[in-house]
Amino acid sequence: MNKKKLEELIRLVEDSEIGELTLSGPVNTIRIVKIPSRAAVHNHDAVTAAARPQATPAVPAVEVAVAEAPAPADDTPDRDSGLVPVVSPMVGTFYASASPESAPYVRQGDHVNKGQIVCIVEAMKLMNEIETEVSGTIVRIAVENAQPVEFGQTLFLIEPA
């Protein structure tokens, strides 16, 4: 990630009610945490402080940490398995249906078509409809309804048709 984009993300956290923002990529994870004062800055387990913005009098302290990406979770499909994961494009809360009274968008064993909505991930009070990128059969639903999810976390496994 370039310096300009990182500075934009830091300003986003500073200027909002967001307390923490985590972005995970294939090589590293960037974590921006709003803290009340410079005295409260400390290293977290398994997170190395890699960069801090230069403080100016009008800018609150923000901790920026970069860590190696965690090892893939057990629910990550093996590349040879042929299953296609549907992953969360953001940090948020997973919802299997449009409302608590509604039936889930999909169930295990259901056939889905490319572009079909399979769930909602709520982030910052915005409901984001998640669509499949392939047609096939839902082999596994990897998360429970109303469970918090991370960026890149597998939500469903689909066996392509």
- Domain with residue 118: its CATH number is 2.40.50.100
Flag residues of the chain having pLDDT under 50.
Answer: 37-59, 69, 71-72, 75
Tokens of 31: 């974590």
Write down the pTM of the prediction: 0.53
pLDDT value of position 61? 53
pLDDT value of position 18? 76
Q: In what order do the strands lie in the sheet with 117-123?
A: 126-131, 117-123, 92-95, 148-149
Q: Which one of 27, 46, 68 terminates a domain?
A: 68
Domain of residue 11 covers 3-68
Q: Verify that 49 and 112 share a domain, yes or no.
A: no
List b or e across 64-79, with b for residues whose CB sees 16 or more CB atoms inside 10 angstroms: bbbbeeeeeeeeebee
Q: Which one of 12, 34, 68 terminates a domain?
A: 68
Residue 73 belongs to a domain: no
Closest CA to 108 of 120, 90, 96: 96
Closest CA to 95 of 24, 138, 148: 148
Q: Verify that 56 and 105 share a domain, yes or no.
A: no
DSSP 8-state code for residue 110: -
96-131: pLDDT as tens digits:
999 999 999 999 999 999 999 999 999 988 999 999
Tokens of 95: 């919802």
> How far apart (Å, rounded) are the C-alpha atoms in residues 3 and 119?
34
pLDDT value of position 16? 79
